Amino acid sequence: MLTAKHKLEFKSGKRTAKTIVEAGTQPEQPTPGRLPRITKMMALAIRLDHLIKSGQVTDQAELARVGHVSRARLTQIMDLNLLAPDIQAEVLQLPPPLCGRELRERDLRKVAAVSDWGRQREMWGKQN
């Protein structure tokens, strides 16, 4: 009978799949946190706007049909493009949420509804 002595580590992967790794063979990598939902929505709004401007999609109505969402919901998403560019950049760079309340899209819609970028910046500063 043969016996081997190795120190093994059990790690959980995606969807609780377990993997066995020999200790010390893989460097420990920090697990990145999830992106805030509002960051994903901002990126989506920018991408959808690019699709319309490049001519790949004719209009928002077509995007709504293809994306299986209502026109009203698509308008809410696209309205994020009305934010001042520096606010958009900050939203895209938001850190992963720790425990606690993260910025909601509903709150940001109020800021985007104001057409003056200076006023938007004031409102944004009060939320952060």
Residues spanned by the domain of 46: 37-115
Domain count, the chain: 1
Percent of the chain with pLDDT over 90: 57
Whether residue 107 lies inside any domain: the answer is: yes
> Would residue 21 count as lying in a domain?
no
- Could you tell me if residue 10 is inside a domain? no
In which element (H, E) is residue 12 found? strand 8-12
Q: Is residue 46 a part of any domain in this protein?
A: yes
Which one, of 98, 99, 94, 96, lies nearest residue 127 by Cα? 94
Give the chain's end-to-end CA distance (angstroms, integer). 65
Which pLDDT tens digit goes with each residue over 85-94? 999 999 999 8
- Give the model confidence (pLDDT) of 10-24 as tens digits: 666 556 566 555 555
Whether 22 and 8 have beta carbons less than 8 Å apart is answered as yes
127 domain-assigned = no
With a cut of 80, say whether residue 25 has pLDDT above it: no
Confidence (pLDDT) at 41: 94
pLDDT at 104 over 80: yes
Mean pLDDT of the chain: 83
**Residue 26 or residue 55, greater confidence:** 55
41 vs 24: which has the higher pLDDT: 41
Specify the range with the lowest mean pLDDT, choosing from 10-14, 107-111, 121-125: 10-14
pTM: 0.72
| Per-residue pLDDT at 127 | 76
